[in-house]
Each structure stands twice: as structure tokens, then as C-alpha cells.
Structure 1
């Protein structure tokens, strides 16, 4: 059985590796999406909007992207200028909702195709069993962190 020091070191290595994989994945996507005129600052909000399956509150998009209110306004202005998103009126004028336009949805579909190709290339030698184990481990980590955040913020814990 490994000693505590060895386990702690492997835990640190795992967290560092996950951060590095995330960073490298985004750099790789930026490289292959650049010919489409997209950077992470542009493709990531489009993907978040597409996943929301409808209009998304500006505040929620800002939170998902870890941006402040002035940054998200500038970002949305730029996406709107490209014709990829539109702002919707809400009964509550304080609430700003954003949704993809048809052109934005087309752009997301093109992004998803490129991402699928890159993902397939990167993971082509990744055995299904190892993928399942890794997904299980990551789900466990995400659940634990969500529970810790809920306790820290006094929010209700999400259902597992």
C-alpha cells in the first residue's frame, strides 16, 4: 500500500495534469479553429449558448465563462456584430438574455465538427475501459467539489 506522501504526490500530479490537459486542449482547439476566424474568446461562449438550448441570461453566461459584467457586455457586442448572437427583450428590463442566431448555430456546428475530428485524433488509442474509469474518477471529483462549494456558499447540494 502506498504511503501518504506518495499518495499526496500522485494527487498533486493528477490535479496538475488535469489543468495542463485542459490548457493544452484549448490551445489545440484555438490552433485548428483559427482559420475559421475563431479564438477561445469567441468559440467558447458560442458553445455555452448552444448547450443552453435556448436563450441564456447574460449573467449566467458571464458566470460560465468566469467574466465580469463589463467584459461580458463587450464580448456579446462582438458576437452580435458578427451576427452570431442576438439580445432578447425580457419582461424584467434588468435581465439580459442572449441566444444564438441561425448564423451562430451554423458556426457552432462547424466548430463541433472540427472539435470531433481533433478529439478523435487525440483519443484514437484510448481504450474504452480506461475512458470509462477516467470518466468515473472525474465525475467523483466534480461531485465532491460541487458538494464542497455548496457547503461553502450555503447553497443546496446538487443531486448526484
Structure 2
């Protein structure tokens, strides 16, 4: 454990690890013209296409955990960069479907290779990508991600106390 982390709360450690990961991915994919958020979109699109799906922006937002409005903004930027195509869904004229262009697939494959190398380095202390510790860690993370969190879950008396102090 790093110096100063012995007494850290789980929330602080989750925040620090997610920040460390986001910064590392941002730096790693920047030479390919991507940000971490853009990488999340194109890598997800790549995987979904391989599974036979051509997702809508809404479906991609649900898949990535990003807000739909943010996915729309990212998709427009990726379209301008020539990495994705946005088309109206023939089954739902309100929905926009997304697909990687040929160039987008090439950039995405290269980005996935780079990020995979980062992930292998991150997981080295747990025994690597295929270790039992990593599988346990992954299962624990998935368990935490499945817990619904909503700001309305806060105790009502704390919310009332906070809003009364703002009046």
C-alpha cells in the first residue's frame, strides 16, 4: 500500500484509482487523437459491433455509464474527426445509431492495444490480468458497480438541514 493510503477510506481510494486510470488512459491515447472518454465510446462501439450490435446513442450511454448528453457531444466530435458515423435509426426516427468508420476501427484497435498494456501494468501487483486475485478484484468491482446510488438516497433530514442552511 502506498504511503498515506493505510488509513484512507474506500471512497477516497476508489476516487484516486479512477483518477489515476483516467489520467493514464488520457495520456496513452492522446497520440491517437483521443481522450479517455472518447476511447470509452469507440472501444465500446468496437466491442458492441463485434457482438453484432449497432447501438443507439442512448444504448451506448447506458453501456458506458456516461450521461446521454455527454455521449451525444462526444459522438459529434468523433464524427467530425472521421472516426464514427451517426445515422437515424430506421426503426425509431428519434434515435441516432452509431458505427465506427474504417479509420475509426483502425484507431480503436490501436488504442485498445495501448490501453490493454496499461491495464496489464496496473494489474501486475495482483498477479497480472489472468490471476485469481485479479478475477476476485474484478468481481468485487462489479458488485460495487451494481449498487444503485442516487442523491435521493441521502437521509432526508440531512438534505433538509443542508437546504435550510442555504436559504
TM-score by length of 2: 0.68
User: In the alignment, which residue of structure 1 is the partner of 2:145?
Assistant: 142
Q: Which deviates more, 130-139 or 44-53? A: 130-139
Match of 2:23 among 5, 27, 45: 27
Aligned residue runs from structure 1 range 1-160, under 5 A: 13-53=9-49, 54-63=53-62, 64-69=64-69, 71-91=70-90, 92-127=92-127, 128-143=131-146, 145-146=147-148
Structure with the higher fraction of residues in helix conformation: 1
Q: Equivalents in 2 of 1:123, 1:73: separation in Å?
A: 32
Residue 132 of structure 1: how far off its partner (Å)? 3.0
Q: Equivalents in 2 of 1:139, 1:68: separation in Å?
A: 22
TM-score by length of 1: 0.71
Q: Equivalents in 2 of 1:132, 1:55: separation in Å?
A: 29
Residue 68 of structure 1: how far off its partner (Å)? 4.5
| Segments of 4+ moved more than 3 angstroms | 62-65, 71-74
> Structure 1 residues 39 and 136, CA, compared in 2 at 3 Å: closer, same or farther?
closer
Q: Equivalents in 1 of 2:9, 2:108: separation in Å?
A: 34
Helix, strand or coil at the partner of 1:123: helix
Residue 21 of structure 1: how far off its partner (Å)? 0.8
**Tell me, which stretches of 5 or more residues in structure 2 are unaligned?**
1-6, 154-167
Residue 66 of structure 1: how far off its partner (Å)? 2.6
Aligned residues: 137
